Structure 1
Amino acid sequence: MLTVDFNRIHLEKGMKVLDAGCGAGRHLCEAFRKEGTDVVGIDLKWEDLCQARGYLSLMAQEKGGHWCIMKGDVTRLPFADGAFDVVICSEVLEHIPDSAAAVREIVRILKPGGDLVVSVPSYLPERICWLISRAYHEEPGGHVRIYKQRELQRLLQEAGTSCDRIRYKHALHAPYWWLKCLVGHKNDRHPLVRLYKQFLE
């Protein structure tokens, strides 16, 4: 499921795109579909990076292009200032204890005038998950905070950038996570969870 609207991102041939916290590569692959873009993904989980590598390898066989994935920490990015035309950081900041450091880094490596796309879970649906299940937010590597809109905007402003657009999406996914919190957040085999997941797909 994409949490980024690529129709609103300015992508041209020769542009460099970073997906900071790329996971298994859903947004990385979508950016790579644009002819002539160079994409880089960074994440802490090897298993997710291996999955992303598999997808990108297959795509590159069909269309060519340059891609790179690496294991790394979003709070200490190994790139020069202004190295990327587009930086995506989707559903990542809520996992990072020092999210201010992460935002400073993604702003630092973005070219002046480049596109920065940040997404986090909406406050109310996420708060409900926390109320339903303690295990949901105590999972190692899980969500360590819930953002209100103004808190995220302030974080971006303090890092030297501003917010041009705010949008809310994926309202139908909130009940899926509430169900998972009710039946056990790791219980993907529960009939209701499986049924709702099929509905979403």
Structure 2
Amino acid sequence: MGVLGWVGRAFSRVYWREEPLVDRIRPHLPVGGSVIDVGAGGCRIAELLGADGRFSVTAVDVVDHNVTEVPMQLYDGERLPFPDKSFDAALLVFVLHHAEHPEALVREVLRVTRSTVVVIEDAPETRAERWCWRAWDYVLNHAAHDDIGVAHHARNVGQWVVFLQSCGAAPSSARRFRALYPVLRSYPHVVLPVSIDATTSG
């Protein structure tokens, strides 16, 4: 592992990013509900969400980079090993841009979820922001863990909305934000909550 990999590993051990992300996620979740965190990575978001007992969180991913005591279940990346409507809510946090088949992943998450899906994604707008996005993604993911592929899908806020709509998961809002750590506000992100009741009734 080279210098960039060690930089990525160092960032992965600090909770600079996860705490503010959890603050953005919590308002969209049913208190006391069960939550599946798909693509949980280091499981730090799952750990923080479950810390006060308000949520029961199940972490799943296709690779094991868990740095917490939260149990994490591996799956094959195609079908989640749970029955239909097993969870009240689901999280897809910086996951879809890595998925080879993001449409299939969204539909699989909808299958196992009863109420709400919260998507948080990178949303670079300009050419410079896309360059920063690819550079940071490489450092924080692929350089640090060679079993994490490079990012596949760069979309801006509007493109993420259209993409989710095409998957039958129309978001109720799209709130942009920029994170100081670890990407130094170099490109925007977006929070996209999806109400499954509204999706299925519409």
TM-score, structure 1 length as denominator? 0.67
Q: Percent identity?
A: 23
Structure with bigger RCO (C-alpha 8 Å, 6+ apart) = 2
Equivalent positions of 1:94-105 (< 5 A) are 94-105=97-108
The Cα of 1:138 is off from its aligned counterpart by: 11
Aligned match of 1:164: 172
TM-superposition CA deviations, 1:98-133 (whole Å, max 9, x none): 11111111111110xx12110111213650226769
- Describe the SS at the equivalent of 1:157: helix
Gaps of 5+ in 1: 57-67, 179-201
Q: Distance in 2 between matches of 1:123 and 1:161?
A: 21
Aligned match of 1:9: 28
Aligned match of 2:200: none
Contact 1:130 1:136 in 2 (8 A): no
Equivalent positions of 1:184-199 (< 5 A) are none
**In the alignment, structure 1 residue 128 sits paired with structure 2 residue 106:** no
Q: Distance in 1 between matches of 2:52 and 2:38?
A: 18
More helix by share: 1
Aligned match of 2:73: 70
| RMSD of aligned Cα (Å) | 3.0
Contact 2:138 2:150 in 1 (8 A): no
Number of matched pairs: 160
Which of 93, 96, 116 pairs up with 1:93?
A: 96
Q: Distance in 2 between matches of 1:74 and 1:40?
A: 16
- Describe the SS at the equivalent of 1:168: strand
The Cα of 1:89 is off from its aligned counterpart by: 0.7
Aligned match of 1:18: 36
The Cα of 1:175 is off from its aligned counterpart by: 5.2
Paired AA for residue 163 in structure 1 = P
